[in-house]
Structure 1
Amino acid sequence: MEIIREKRKVALYSVFVNLFLTVLKLSAGLVSSSHSLIADGIHSLADLAASLSVYAGIVMANMKVKEFPYGLYKVENFVSLLSAFAIFFAGYEILKETFFEGSSHRIENLPVAVGAVLITILVTYFFSKFERRKGEELNSPSLIADSEHIKTDMFSALVVLVGVVGSYLGYPIVEKVAVLIIVLFIFHAGYEILIEALKVLLDASIDRDSLERIRKLLLSHPLVKEVKEITGRSSGSYKFIEAEVKVGTNDLKRAHRVVHEVEAKVKREVPFIEKIIIHFEPEEREEKKYAIFVSGNRVCSKFAECPQVLILEREGNQWRRVEVFENPAVKIKYGRCIELVELLAKKGVNCVAVNNLPLGKGVIYALSAYGMGMKLIPKDDLDEFLEELKRNPHCEPPLAVWNTYTCDIGGEVEGSGLDREGQG
Structure 2
Amino acid sequence: MADYSLADPTPAGLTSAMGRFHRAGSAIWRGHIREGSAKMAGKPSIQPMSDDRDSGTPLAKRVALYSLLVNLFLLGLNLAMAAFSGSLALMAETAHNLADLAASATVWIGLTLSQRKSHSFPYGLYKVENVAAIIVGLFIFLTAYEIAREALFGASREVVMHPAILAGVGIAALVPWLFSRYELRIARAVNSPSLMADAKEFQAHVLSSGVVFASLLGQWIGWPLDWPAALLIVLWIVHAGWETLISGMRVLLDASLDAETLQRVRRIIERQPAVVEVRSLVGRNAGRYRFLEAEIGVRAQGLDKAHQVSHAIESEICSEIPFVERVLIHMEPVSREAVRIAVPLTDQTGTVSRHFGLAPYFALTNRHVETGRALEQLIVVNPFADHPKGRGLEVAHWLLEQRVDVVVTPDDIRDKGPGHALSDAGVTVIVRDVRTLAEATRELPALGETGGVVGVSYPNTARA
Q: 1:54 touches 1:76 (CA, 8 Å); kept in 2?
A: yes
CA 1:311–1:183: 2 relative to 1, 3 Å: farther
Aligned to 1:51: 104
* CA offsets 1:255-312 (integer angstroms, 9 cap, x no match): 1121122112111111111111111111236653232322333331111222333444
Q: 2:289 touches 2:325 (CA, 8 Å); kept in 1?
A: yes
Q: What is the aligned counterpart of 2:162 among 86, 92, 110?
A: 110
Q: What is the aligned counterpart of 2:248 among 191, 194, 197?
A: 197
Aligned to 2:58: 5
Q: 4+ residue runs of structure 1 moved beyond 6 angstroms?
A: 390-395
Give the secondary structure class of the aligned counterpart of 1:65. coil
Q: What is the aligned counterpart of 2:392 among 315, 337, 341?
A: 337
* CA offsets 1:333-359 (integer angstroms, 9 cap, x no match): 35x4344323322331111133x2426
Q: 1:51 touches 1:146 (CA, 8 Å); kept in 2?
A: yes
Indicate the larger mover: 363-372 or 197-206. Answer: 363-372
Aligned to 1:408: none
Indicate the larger mover: 389-398 or 45-54. Answer: 389-398
Read off the aligned partner of 1:331 and give its amino acid letter.
H
1:243 to 2:294 alignment: yes
Q: What is the aligned counterpart of 2:195 among 122, 139, 143?
A: 143
Aligned to 1:224: 275
* CA offsets 1:168-225 (integer angstroms, 9 cap, x no match): 22222x4444444443232122111111111111112111211121111111111121
TM-score by length of 2: 0.78
Q: Which runs of 5+ in 2 are unaligned?
A: 1-53, 448-452
Q: 2:133 touches 2:194 (CA, 8 Å); kept in 1?
A: yes
1:265 to 2:319 alignment: no
Aligned to 2:407: 352
Indicate the larger mover: 186-195 or 230-239. Answer: 186-195
CA 1:283–1:177: 2 relative to 1, 3 Å: same
* CA offsets 1:84-136 (integer angstroms, 9 cap, x no match): 111111222222232222523131x5212111111111112222232223222
1:401 to 2:458 alignment: yes
- In the alignment, the residues of structure 1 paired with residue 95 and residue 355 of structure 2 have an alpha-carbon distance, to the nearest angstrom, of 84
Higher share in helix: 1
- In the alignment, the residues of structure 2 paired with residue 388 and residue 338 of structure 1 have an alpha-carbon distance, to the nearest angstrom, of 22
Aligned to 2:147: 94
1:41 to 2:98 alignment: no
Indicate the larger mover: 268-277 or 119-128. Answer: 119-128
Read off the aligned partner of 1:309 and give its amino acid letter.
F
CA 1:150–1:61: 2 relative to 1, 3 Å: same
1:324 to 2:380 alignment: yes
- Give 1:368 deviation, angstroms: 2.6
Q: How many residues align?
A: 400
Give the secondary structure class of the aligned counterpart of 1:88. helix
Give the secondary structure class of the aligned counterpart of 1:401. coil
Whichever of the two has the greater Rg, that structure is 1
Read off the aligned partner of 1:106 and give its amino acid letter.
V
Q: 1:352 touches 1:372 (CA, 8 Å); kept in 2?
A: yes
- Give 1:376 deviation, angstroms: 5.8
Following superposition of structure 1 onto structure 2, how do residues 251-400 of structure 1 map, counting pairs within 5 Å?
251-284=302-335, 287-297=338-348, 298-314=351-367, 319-320=375-376, 324-328=380-384, 330-334=386-390, 336-354=391-409, 356-358=410-412, 361-362=415-416, 363-374=418-429, 379-381=434-436, 385=437, 389=441, 396=453, 399-400=456-457
- In the alignment, the residues of structure 2 paired with residue 313 and residue 377 of structure 1 have an alpha-carbon distance, to the nearest angstrom, of 19
Give the secondary structure class of the aligned counterpart of 2:407. strand
- Give 1:315 deviation, angstroms: 6.5
Q: What is the aligned counterpart of 2:122 among 48, 69, 73?
A: 69
- In the alignment, the residues of structure 1 paired with residue 294 and residue 284 of structure 2 have an alpha-carbon distance, to the nearest angstrom, of 12
Aligned-residue sequence identity (percent) comes to 34
Read off the aligned partner of 2:219 and give its amino acid letter.
S
- In the alignment, the residues of structure 2 paired with residue 205 and residue 140 of structure 1 have an alpha-carbon distance, to the nearest angstrom, of 18
- In the alignment, the residues of structure 2 paired with residue 18 and residue 373 of structure 1 have an alpha-carbon distance, to the nearest angstrom, of 66
Read off the aligned partner of 1:236 and give its amino acid letter.
G
Following superposition of structure 1 onto structure 2, how do residues 148-163 of structure 1 map, counting pairs within 5 Å?
148-163=200-215
CA 1:10–1:308: 2 relative to 1, 3 Å: farther
- Give 1:45 deviation, angstroms: 2.2
Read off the aligned partner of 1:86 and give its amino acid letter.
F
* CA offsets 1:119-158 (integer angstroms, 9 cap, x no match): 1111122222322232222211101111122222223323
Q: 1:12 touches 1:55 (CA, 8 Å); kept in 2?
A: yes
Aligned to 2:32: none
Read off the aligned partner of 2:146 and give its amino acid letter.
E
CA 1:158–1:372: 2 relative to 1, 3 Å: same
CA 1:399–1:15: 2 relative to 1, 3 Å: closer
Q: Which protein has greater RCO, CA pairs closer than 8 Å, 6+ apart?
A: 2
Give the secondary structure class of the aligned counterpart of 1:299. coil
Q: Which runs of 5+ in 1 are unaligned?
A: 406-412, 414-418
- In the alignment, the residues of structure 2 paired with residue 176 and residue 321 of structure 1 have an alpha-carbon distance, to the nearest angstrom, of 82
- Give 1:365 deviation, angstroms: 4.5
- In the alignment, the residues of structure 2 paired with residue 44 and residue 365 of structure 1 have an alpha-carbon distance, to the nearest angstrom, of 64
CA 1:248–1:104: 2 relative to 1, 3 Å: same
